[in-house]
Amino acid sequence: MSEAQSLRYNVDLVMVIDVTGSMGHVLKQVKSAALNFHDLMATRMASKGKHVAQLRVRVVAFRDMFADQECFIESRFFELPHEHNEFAAFVGALKAKGGGGDGPESGLEGLSLAMHSDWTKMGDRRRHVIVVWSDARPHPLENGRGNAPVALRSRLCKSFDSLTDVWESGQSCGMERSARRLVMYTPESVGWTEISDAWSQVVHFPSQAGKGLREFEMDTILDALANSI
């Protein structure tokens, strides 16, 4: 038995999902992929001779702090497949509404909340994975922290530089440098482009800002994740 096959991989996945009104046409696909993620991932990993001992998934849904009262919706970690029903109930309740039209949304804040998750420390090997879906450019972090709910501010980075520092070090949020992975299905726009160009362990599948996500390449995302584990 190879080393890859004998080791137990404990995988935490945080899905950061834009749930503004412009995402209505693609949110159904994103939700379907989320609900089938365990089976899809297990099949893809098995095809590569790898084994996931534990998969936990949580969701950070975001809108626009400058336009929406309910700008962030967070779940706890659900262990799949055991807590599939609870996970399905949370995902099923997400609705595409609000947002700032074709303008920027609070995607970087959503990413910051995801990075400050309660990441697993169990298993022979760990993967701390974040997947972001959005069709909009993000607000600069410096502009919006004061608009955020008070209870969330301790988990929101004050600037893009501090967000970068947290990602690259991982120390202040509990992410292991060797375990972290970021997959983005986002526009080629200010904010997202800087991340894809400068951050380590990032895979970026560009979407078109203001035009929605025309295609949803879940197979490509699964391959990117499976190859990194």
**Residues 155-173: pLDDT tens digits?**
999 999 999 999 998 767 8
Distance CA 2, CA 127 (A): 19
- Residue 103 pLDDT grade (very low, low, confident, very high; cuts 50, 70, 90): confident
Decide: 133 and 37 in contact? Cβ < 8 Å: no
**CA atoms within a 13 Å half-sphere pointing along the CA-CB vector of 101:** 1
Q: Which residue has the higher pLDDT, 25 or 116?
A: 116
Predicted TM-score (pTM) of this structure: 0.90
**Residues 60-89: pLDDT tens digits?**
999 999 889 899 999 999 999 899 889 989
Helices marked H in the chain — which ranges? 3-6, 24-35, 37-47, 84-92, 107-115, 141-144, 160-169, 192-198, 218-228
Decide: 207 and 29 in contact? Cβ < 8 Å: no
In the chain, the domains with their CATH numbers are 3-228 (3.40.50.410)
**Token digits for 117?**
């998750």
**Residues 10-41: pLDDT tens digits?**
999 999 999 998 888 778 877 777 788 788 88
